[in-house]
């Protein structure tokens, strides 16, 4: 009989434990700060042609140079005819050597402004601000969250890139 009373008491205690009141004091109700806007390319305006006329000149000519990527004081020392870089081959995790320190870099194909989203973990200096990247010719350009170039690298091997940050610090990526 005693065991039945003890078992009944334990079941009652467990049932009541599930009915405890919970408070909302542990939930953060502060508003979330919005993300900063991503930079976009230049916008042009003009009158659209009449759609009932000839469409032989439907699209404008592509620009011949990319002046948005010019970085004054480019200290990468990269040769103009470096090894071919394929954007898809860049996706994933990279080990970064930046001067005496090393850290991790993650590159994705998710669009962000004129490049693709990327980020670093455990980095120091300029690389802490990395937010995107892109391939321009034979170079990989790392950009800050505002879209400004912070480093340029050229392919030196199958899984190795070398270059410099905009501040002149040597940088290399490897897998």
As a whole number of angstroms, the distance between CA 101 and CA 93 comes to 17
**Residue range 3-38, pLDDT digits in tens:** 888 888 888 777 776 665 555 555 666 677 777 777
Do residues 131 and 117 touch, judged by C-beta distance below 8 A? yes
Give the number of other Cβ atoms within 10 Å of residue 140's Cβ: 25
From CA 41, how far away is CA 112, in angstroms rounded? 12
pTM higher than 0.75: no
Using an 8 Å Cβ cutoff, are 163 and 94 in contact? no
Q: Is the pLDDT of residue 78 over 50?
A: no
What is the average per-residue pLDDT within 130-137? 92
């Amino acid at each position: 009989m005693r065991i039945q009373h003890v078992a009944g008491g334990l079941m009652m205690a467990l049932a009541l434990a599930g009915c405890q009141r919970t408070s909302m004091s542990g939930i953060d109700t502060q508003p979330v700060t919005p993300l900063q806007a991503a930079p976009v390319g230049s916008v042009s305006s003009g009158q659209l042609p009449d759609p009932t006329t000839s469409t032989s000149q439907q699209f404008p000519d592509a620009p011949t140079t990319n002046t948005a990527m010019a970085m004054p004081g480019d200290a990468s020392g990269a040769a103009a005819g470096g090894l071919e870089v394929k954007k898809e081959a860049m996706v994933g995790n990279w080990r970064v050597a930046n001067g005496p320190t090393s850290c991790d870099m993650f590159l994705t194909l998710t669009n962000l402004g004129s490049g693709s989203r990327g980020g670093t973990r455990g980095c120091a200096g300029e690389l802490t601000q990395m937010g995107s990247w892109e391939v321009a010719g034979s170079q990989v350009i790392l950009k800050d969250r505002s879209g400004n170039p912070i480093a340029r690298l050229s392919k030196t091997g199958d899984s190795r890139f070398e270059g410099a940050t905009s501040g002149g610090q040597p940088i290399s990526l490897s897998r």
